[in-house]
Amino acid sequence: MLDSLVAWFQENQRPLPWRVSYDPYQVWVSEVMLQQTQVETALPYYERFIREFPTIESLAKAKEERVLTLWAGLGYYQRAKNLTAAAGEVVSKHGGEIPSDYDALIRLPGIGQYMAGAILSIAFNKAYPVVDGNVRRVLSRINGWTEDDTKTLWDAATRLVHEAEPRLVNQALMELGAKICSFKSPRCLLCPVQSSCIAFRVGMQDKIPPVKKRPATVHVHLFAVVHKKDDRYLMKPADGMWEFPMFSALPAGSFEKIGECRHTITHHRLDVTVCEGELTERSGLEWKRIDDAAISSLTRKVWDLAKELGDRTGEAR
């Protein structure tokens, strides 16, 4: 099974920039971006990031706000903060060399069992397993596991990574999950491990792995206020980033509704009414040029509505 899987990967792998030289810093940045994000979405972010911070030293010296600006839109901003803090530690404690041993890696901010395994196997070709959502799905289906058991999954991944080149085994499992063994419609007829797959044999691909229960969606209604003077906006600092002030009810001031937008964060669905006007109470807010600011996807949606209004009314914004 493993031989066919690895051979399939070698033939079909996507040509991704971090696969050219398997530079540890590039592999690390890519893996951090790929947590919770698909390759196609992450790629332009990765390219911009590496262009601005081509080495771990350059990232270690970077201002957090600049890193967050480049990360804006990818979400889960704590990842970027941890990456920047960890780059600082690699430079100050490890002479700029990313550690190639598990115990040192796992002590860096933001690095857990998955990330350490990914860096050690993909960058250093060491036999450490990885189990992400793709690997979980592929291994569960091949082995016909109808119940989730974390230890069983990691044990199986550990056995496999010792049986062939670790870099290839782990990436092949992840790539198969991403490209062939998808959650909703696995393309079993094209699958290199079909003859070894129990889920395929018994026709249970749609039952394996078991679907994890998601928390119920929580609906939240907010008002975002766009208060503008020249080319600056009144904005609120939020954990290294900037956002338009948001309220559960319209605050004191004079406003005009300019549109609505919707945004989902984990299981929260935010319906946001966007208003433009003047806020009476401005404490905790600062005038900010948006071009210089690290802003989230939600803030960008609000800003897009404000810009659209500016275009319609002919006002330069």
**Interacting residues with ligand SF4 (CB under 6 A):** 138, 141-142, 180-181, 186, 188, 191, 193-194, 197, 199-200, 205
Active site residues: 31
Contact (Cβ atoms closer than 8 angstroms) between residue 102 and residue 114: no
Assign residue 129 a region (left: φ > 0; alpha: ψ between -120 and 50; beta: otherwise).
Answer: beta
Burial class for 295, CB neighbours closer than 10 Å (0-12, 13-18, 19+): buried
In terms of DSSP bridges, do strands 268-279 and 232-238 run parallel, antiparallel, or are they unpaired?
unpaired
- Looking at residue 221, what DSSP letter applies? E
Contact (Cβ atoms closer than 8 angstroms) between residue 150 and residue 126: no
Q: Which is nearer to ligand SF4, 60 or 172 (CB)?
A: 172
Candidates 41, 20, 40, 42; CA nearest to 30 is 42
Q: Which is nearer to ligand SF4, 99 or 209 (CB)?
A: 209
Alpha-carbon gap, residue 108 to 130, rounded angstroms: 18
> Minimum Å distance from CB 193 to ligand SF4?
5
Q: How far is CA 47 from the centre of its chain?
A: 15
Alpha-carbon gap, residue 272 to 270, rounded angstroms: 6
> Minimum Å distance from CB 12 to ligand SF4?
13
> Minimum Å distance from CB 147 to ligand SF4?
17
Q: Which is nearer to ligand SF4, 84 or 170 (CB)?
A: 170
Alpha-carbon gap, residue 312 to 19, rounded angstroms: 46
Alpha-carbon gap, residue 84 to 227, rounded angstroms: 32
| DSSP code per residue over 11-65 | HH----GGGTT--HHHHHHHHHHHTTS-HHHHHHHHHHHHHH--SHHHHHHS-HH
> Minimum Å distance from CB 136 to ligand SF4?
12
Q: Which is nearer to ligand SF4, 22 or 183 (CB)?
A: 183
Candidates 237, 245, 218, 251; CA nearest to 302 is 245
> Minimum Å distance from CB 9 to ligand SF4?
13
Q: Which is nearer to ligand SF4, 87 or 199 (CB)?
A: 199
Q: Which is nearer to ligand SF4, 185 or 248 (CB)?
A: 185
